[in-house]
Chains A and B, each alone.
Chain A
């Protein structure tokens, strides 16, 4: 087992950090979208569904490229919103978070929706007739009853975030110690002659983390099924 270099350790930490931050940031939005899709009827619902799920089927490179075009120095948001505010996003770890969040978002929404769809509508209606406002209903009925879906979705998104490559390499670049996550470090080793041992070692780290996370997810979803 070769010893990891300093930047490899940073890559492992960074992967965890990016995945955690992306998941936490997406959580309120994911919940809101899942709520809208489950409990509300509104025009353009199908459109929203398609847009939210698009990153699931699009190559992450496409997502990354669009983000770069939007957020980059000459991009619509980059030039008119971020630059005046003095925010530089591209090639920072924050860009990796944005990329990871967009790519993983549909997974989170799907899980939360699955959780919400198991809620008995009568409970929601009962809470409304008993005088609870919609916010109260959300916090006291919907959140507790879909909490497993929320957790499962977060875990799934976190796991997906750990492996994010395509969008990340485009918007965050490959800066050792700053934006180089595990997949990017592996990519760097894979294209280098003699880098096989290190690539394999990082692959093992990646596999171990994924296995732990997926086993936890599986355990949780089994408990979910049993609870219903």
Chain B
């Protein structure tokens, strides 16, 4: 009897292990953290129209997601907050360039307490601590560091930049008052900030425009659900969702 129970148990474990990964109708969406609300809404709307498709939203810094995909993490759709990481995957052959399309734009702003006197990049050298996404993986941080370099204040800010793992953590640091200010996207500041507000918009000439490419991975291109999702995100309805969350759609 014990033996039978034991083998039943083993079979069950084997089922559990093998049943988890690829299942028809599953869709893995890896999206930049700044798109959290927009992508969640996308996925919900898509699920409502396509019952039976189970969507998993994986939200993190775009660079971290690209790294996961490079290492074989399941992903059918990839939303990046910059062109750099999409190009990175394209170069590795993990995304076909013809399956990518730019869907939205954003801008980098500086947030802080409403009474903080910081109106230009030059004012930042007086501040004590500034949160910024880690430029190695967070596009918002990459844009911000590029802007600081171009404004010539990068050296002066050395040792005062707190690296966040994604743009929302960056905003949270500022919101909780642990840093004087933070570089985040306009959309994050407008939709998510509670105790801080936009002090200034980082001048566009200091960094490349924040661009959100949407891509279908090599694995995703083979799935009809992924193709449908890819089209849905570019549709008028998809654009409406992005616009609603403050993104610039052209």
Contacts and interface: CB of A to CB of B under 8 A. Distances in A.
Interface in A161-191: 173-178, 180, 187-191
Contact of B177 (A73, A177, A180, A187): A73
A188 B138 CA distance: 10
Contacts of B63: 191-193
B146 to A, nearest CB: 16
Nearest to B88: A193
A175 B131 CA distance: 9
Contact of B129 (A91, A189, A191, A195): A91
Interface residues of A, number: 22
Contacts of B162: 91, 173-175
Interface string B38-53: 0000000000000000
A94 to B, nearest CB: 14
A64 interface: no
A72 to B, nearest CB: 6
B158 interface: yes
Interface in A116-174: 173-174
A89 B70 CA distance: 38
A90 interface: yes
Interface residues of B, number: 27
Given A73-B178, A192-B63, A193-B67, A173 B163 contact: yes
A177 B85 CA distance: 26
B163 A191 contact: no
B66 A193 contact: yes
Interface of B: 60-61, 63-64, 66-67, 70, 85, 88, 129, 131, 134, 136-137, 158-165, 173, 176-179
15 contacts: A73-B177, A90-B178, A173-B163, A174-B162, A174-B164, A175-B161, A176-B161, A177-B158, A188-B137, A191-B165, A192-B134, A192-B136, A193-B137, A195-B136, A195-B137
Given A174-B134, A175-B163, 4 more contacts: A174-B162, A175-B161, A191-B60, A191-B134
